[in-house]
């Protein structure tokens, strides 16, 4: 059995992100088979037992995850081409008044807060921003099984077997898309449930079957729903919620 880097194994086991793993190792907060390992680059066997010290667990518990109902006109991540990033919407005034989480908002919560998945500038709905590497990996990891659900308003005429193709049979950028669940909600709105998130995927899929997207809203990620959260407002992910 081949040894692998401890930080990589910690990330694969969902203990934390690789960056966090290096930080925890350097601080002496990681044990392998009960022994503290503090040297970066250490390799271990996949069968060895990894545990985090209480200090590392406390640091993780202090990290926040924020759910934002993103409006049109904001980009998910870094500012680009003069467009504002969604993080600028986060302050005490825009917190949803019905948020029941016990956290008090302070600016330090914006440090290291990053979007876990994209929502393009023309789209609205649920955007997750997190300080927690475990949640980021869960949502945007290569093999993430977590579903994302969208309501999509369209114009145009669907080609003959277009609905079947949307469900399975299209390729983007030379790669076959994973099976999706796509169904009509009403005469001009589709519901998409996807297990992947290629750039502008839904818009490009629709164009391939004769439809033009006029509005796109993400309403669910895994078990977490957008619900009644008003556009432009946000709330904390509660301790009893998981994706």
Residue 80 located in a structural domain: yes
Residue among 243, 229, 231 at smallest CA distance from 86: 231
pLDDT digits (tens, 9 = 90+) for 85-101: 999 999 999 999 999 99
Beta-carbon count within 10 A of 222 CB: 17
Q: What is the CATH number of the domain that holds 182?
A: 3.30.2350.10
Residue 199 located in a structural domain: yes
Residue 242 located in a structural domain: no
Model pLDDT, residue 108? 83
Counting every residue written for the chain, the total comes to 243
Residue 84 located in a structural domain: yes
Q: What is the CATH number of the domain that holds 232?
A: 3.30.70.580
Q: Looking at the structure, tell me whether residues 119 and 160 fall in a common domain.
A: no
The residue to which tokens 């956290």 are assigned: 103
Q: Looking at the structure, tell me whether residues 18 and 125 fall in a common domain.
A: no
User: 44-48, 70-74, 130-134, 137-141 — which is least confidently predicted?
Assistant: 137-141
Going 98 to 227 to 150 to 141, the CA torsion angle's sign is: positive
Checking if the pLDDT of 11 tops 90, the result is no
pLDDT digits (tens, 9 = 90+) for 113-165: 899 988 999 999 999 999 888 888 889 876 788 999 999 999 999 998 999 99
Q: Looking at the structure, tell me whether residues 165 and 216 fall in a common domain.
A: yes
Active site residue 120: yes
For residues 196-223, give the mean pLDDT: 95
Checking if the pLDDT of 61 tops 80, the result is no
Q: In what order do the strands lie in the sheet with 50-52?
A: 35-36, 30-32, 50-52
Element (H, E) at 136: helix 133-140
- Residue 36 CA, distance from chain mean position: 32
Residue 28 located in a structural domain: yes
The residue to which tokens 């927690």 are assigned: 132
Predicted TM-score (pTM) above 0.85: no
Q: Looking at the structure, tell me whether residues 134 and 230 fall in a common domain.
A: yes
Model pLDDT, residue 78? 79
**Domain containing residue 124:** 65-142+226-236
Q: Looking at the structure, tell me whether residues 209 and 189 fall in a common domain.
A: yes
Checking if the pLDDT of 60 tops 80, the result is no
Q: Looking at the structure, tell me whether residues 193 and 78 fall in a common domain.
A: no
Tally of structural domains, the chain: 3
Q: Looking at the structure, tell me whether residues 133 and 231 fall in a common domain.
A: yes
Q: Looking at the structure, tell me whether residues 232 and 194 fall in a common domain.
A: no
Residue 241 located in a structural domain: no
- pLDDT range class, residue 227, cuts 50, 70, 90: very high
Q: Looking at the structure, tell me whether residues 105 and 201 fall in a common domain.
A: no
Element (H, E) at 8: helix 6-12
Q: Looking at the structure, tell me whether residues 131 and 232 fall in a common domain.
A: yes
**Of 23, 91, 99, 120, catalytic:** 120
Q: Looking at the structure, tell me whether residues 48 and 163 fall in a common domain.
A: no
Model pLDDT, residue 149? 97
């Amino acid at each position: 059995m081949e040894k692998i880097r401890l930080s990589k194994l910690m990330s694969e086991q969902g203990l934390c992100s690789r960056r966090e793993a290096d930080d925890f190792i350097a601080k002496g907060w990681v044990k392998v088979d009960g022994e503290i390992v503090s040297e970066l680059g250490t390799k271990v066997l996949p069968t060895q037992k990894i545990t985090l010290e209480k200090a590392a667990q406390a640091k993780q518990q202090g990290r926040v995850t924020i759910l934002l109902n993103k409006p049109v006109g904001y980009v998910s991540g870094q500012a680009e081409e003069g467009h504002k990033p969604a993080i600028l919407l986060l302050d005490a005034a825009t917190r949803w008044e019905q948020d029941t989480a016990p956290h008090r908002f302070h600016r330090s919560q914006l440090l290291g807060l990053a979007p876990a998945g994209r929502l393009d500038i023309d789209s609205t709905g649920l955007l997750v921003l997190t300080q927690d590497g475990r949640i980021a990996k869960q949502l945007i990891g290569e093999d993430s099984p977590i579903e994302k659900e969208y309501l999509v308003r369209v114009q145009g005429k669907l080609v003959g077997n277009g609905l079947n193709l949307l469900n399975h049979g299209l390729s983007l950028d030379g790669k076959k898309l994973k099976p999706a669940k796509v169904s009509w909600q009403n005469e001009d709105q589709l519901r998409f449930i996807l297990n992947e998130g290629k750039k502008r995927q839904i818009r490009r899929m629709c164009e391939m079957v004769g439809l033009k997207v006029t509005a796109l809203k993400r309403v669910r990620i895994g078990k977490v729903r957008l619900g009644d959260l008003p556009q432009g407002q946000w709330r904390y992910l509660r301790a009893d919620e998981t994706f």
